[in-house]
Amino acid sequence: MAIIERPSTPAVVGAGAGAPAVVTPSQAYGVLRRPVAATGWRSWVFTVDHKKLGIMYGVVSLFFFLVGGFEALLIRLQLAGPEGTVLSAGLYNEMFTMHATTMVFLFVMPMAAAFANYLVPLQIGARDVAFPRINAFGFWCFLAGAIFINTSWFLGGAADGGWFMYQPNANALFSPSHGIDFWGLGLQITGIASLTGAVNLIVTILNMRAPGMSLMKMPIFTWMILVIQFLLLFAMPVITVALFLLMFQREFGATFFDVSAGADPLLWQHLFWIFGHPEVYIIVLPGFGIVSEVLPVFARKPLFGYRFVVFSGAAIGFVGWGVWAHHMFASGLGPVSVAVFSVATMLIAIPTGVKIVNWTMTLWGGKIWFSTAMLFAIGLIVEFTIGGLSGVTHAVAPSDTQQTDTYYIVAHFHYTIFGGAVLGLFAGFYYWWPKIFGKRLSESLGKWNFWLMIIGMNLTFGPMHIIGLQGQPRRMMNWTEARAGEGFFNLGFWNRVASVGSLILAVGVAFFIVNIWVTHRPSSKTPKSELDPWDARSLEWITQNPPKEHNFDSIPTVHALDEFFHRKYEVDHDTGEVTKVASAEEILAAEEAKADHHIHLPSPSYWPIILAFSLPVMGYGVIFNRFLIVAGALGVLLAMFGWALEPSVADDSDYDPPAEGGSNKELATIG
Amino acid sequence: MSTTEHQSDPHVEPHAADVAHDGHADGEFAHKPDSYYVKIALILAVITALETSTYWIDFGAFFLPTLLILMAIKFVMVASLFMHLKFDSKIFSWMFYSGLLLAIGVYVAFLATFRFFAPT
Amino acid sequence: MAVHTPVTDGHDDHGHGAAHATSTGLSNNKMAMWLFLGSECLLFGGLISTYMLYRGRHPADLGPDQIYDIPFTSVSSFILLMSSLTMVLAVSAASMKDDRRTNLWLTITALLGATFVGGQVYEFTSFYREGLGFTSSLFSSSFYTLTGFHGVHVTVGIIMLMALVGINKRGRIPGQKAEVVELVGLYWHFVDVVWIIIFTLVYLIPS
CA separation for the pair A192, C91 (Å, rounded): 29
- Of all residues in chain A, the percent with pLDDT exceeding 90 is 81
Residue A138 carries which side chain, given as an amino acid letter?
G
- Domains of chain A from N-terminus onward: 2-43+601-668 (no CATH), 44-520 (1.20.210.10), 539-593 (no CATH)
CA separation for the pair A121, A209 (Å, rounded): 8
Would the CB atoms of C71 and B55 count as touching at under 8 Å? Answer: yes
CA separation for the pair A42, C67 (Å, rounded): 57
Instruction: Check whether the bond before A10 is cis (ω within 30° of 0).
Output: yes
* pLDDT tens by residue, A573-609: 888 788 999 999 999 999 999 888 777 788 888 899 9
Residue A326 DSSP class: G
Q: What is the mean pLDDT of residues A469-481?
A: 92
Residue C150 pLDDT? 97
Which chains are within 8 Å of A by 3+ CB pairs?
A: B, C
Which of A66, A72, A151 has the alpha carbon at shortest distance from A111?
Answer: A66
A660 touches chain C (CB under 8 A): yes
CA separation for the pair A164, C157 (Å, rounded): 34
Report whether pLDDT(A661) > 60: no
Least confident of A508-512, A520-524, C167-171: C167-171
Q: Are A656 and A20 in contact (CB under 8 A)?
A: no
* pLDDT tens by residue, A619-640: 999 999 989 999 999 999 999 9
Least confident of A35-44, A366-375, A376-385: A35-44
Task: Write out chain B residues lying below 8 Å of C205, CB-based.
Answer: 64, 67
Q: What is the ipTM of this complex?
A: 0.91
- Of all residues in chain A, the percent with pLDDT exceeding 70 is 91
* pLDDT tens by residue, A428-470: 999 999 999 999 999 999 999 999 999 999 999 999 999 999 9
CA separation for the pair A80, C52 (Å, rounded): 48
Report whether pLDDT(A662) > 90: no
Q: Enumerate residues 243 to 282 of chain A having a beta carbon within 8 A of any beta carbon in chain C.
A: 244-245, 248, 252-256, 261-264, 267, 271, 274
For every residue of A567-588, which 3-state class applies, written as one string? HHEEECCCCCCEEECCCHHHHH
For residue B3, what pLDDT band results from cuts at 50, 70 and 90?
Answer: very low
Task: Write out chain A residues lying below 8 Å of B99, CB-based.
Answer: 233-234
* pLDDT tens by residue, A38-81: 778 888 999 999 999 999 999 999 999 999 999 999 999 999 99
User: What length is written for chain B?
Assistant: 120
Contacts of A558 (CB under 8 A, 6+ apart): A125, A209, A210, A211, A212, A213, A217, A539
CA separation for the pair C11, C25 (Å, rounded): 19
Which of C4, C108, C188, B26 has the alpha carbon at shortest distance from A670?
Answer: C4
Neighbour-count burial for A140-171, b at 16+ CB within 10 Å, e otherwise: bbbbbbbebbbebeeeebbbbbbbbbebbbbb
**Sign, CA torsion A21/A23/A27/A31:** positive
CA separation for the pair A564, A202 (Å, rounded): 24
CA angle A629, A191, A413 (to 5 degrees): 135
Residue A53 carries which side chain, given as an amino acid letter?
L
Alpha helices in A125-178 (DSSP H): 132-151
Residue A334 carries which side chain, given as an amino acid letter?
G
Q: Using CB atoms, which residue from A202, A237, A599 is nearest to C46?
A: A237
* pLDDT tens by residue, A259-309: 999 999 999 999 999 999 999 999 999 999 999 999 999 999 999 999 999
Q: What is the mean pLDDT of residues A89-99?
A: 96
Report whether pLDDT(A563) > 70: yes
Q: Using CB atoms, which residue from B14, B75, B95 is nearest to C176?
A: B14
Give the C-alpha distances (Å, rounded to integers) separating A100 from A96, A105, A268, A414: 6, 8, 18, 11
| CATH tag, C29-204 | 1.20.120.80
Determine the distance in angstroms separating the CA of C149 from the nearest CA of chain B, rounded to an integer.
Answer: 17
B22 touches chain A (CB under 8 A): no
Residue B62 pLDDT? 87
Q: Is B44 helix (H, G, I), strand (E, B) or coil?
A: helix
* pLDDT tens by residue, A544-561: 999 998 899 999 999 999
Residue A587 pLDDT? 95
Residue A12 pLDDT? 29
The residues spanned by each domain of chain B are 28-88, 89-120
Contacts of A593 (CB under 8 A, 6+ apart): none
Q: Enumerate residues 426 to 465 of chain A having a beta carbon within 8 A of any beta carbon in chain C.
A: none
At CB < 8 Å, which residues of chain A contact B? 24, 26, 130-131, 133-134, 137, 196, 199, 206, 233-234, 238, 264, 266, 270, 274, 321-322, 325, 333-334, 337, 640, 643-644, 647-649, 651
More confident residue, A540 or A657: A540
Determine the distance in angstroms separating the CA of C51 from the nearest CA of chain A, rounded to an integer.
Answer: 10
Task: Write out chain A residues lying below 8 Å of C174, CB-based.
Answer: 26-27, 645-647
Q: Using CB atoms, which residue from B2, B91, B106 is nearest to A134?
A: B2
For residue A652, what pLDDT band results from cuts at 50, 70 and 90?
Answer: low
Alpha helices in chain B (DSSP H): 16-19, 34-53, 63-77, 90-113
The residues spanned by each domain of chain C are 29-204
B9 touches chain A (CB under 8 A): yes
Q: Using CB atoms, which residue from C16, C38, C42 is nearest to B9?
A: C16
Which of A115, A118, A108 has the alpha carbon at shortest distance from A422?
Answer: A108
Q: Using CB atoms, which residue from B5, B55, B78 is nearest to C2?
A: B5
pLDDT tens sequence for chain C (207 residues): 333 333 333 333 333 333 357 889 899 999 999 999 999 999 999 999 999 999 999 998 899 988 999 999 999 999 999 999 999 999 999 988 888 999 999 999 999 999 999 999 999 999 999 999 999 999 999 999 999 999 999 999 999 999 999 888 876 665 677 889 999 999 999 999 999 999 999 999 987
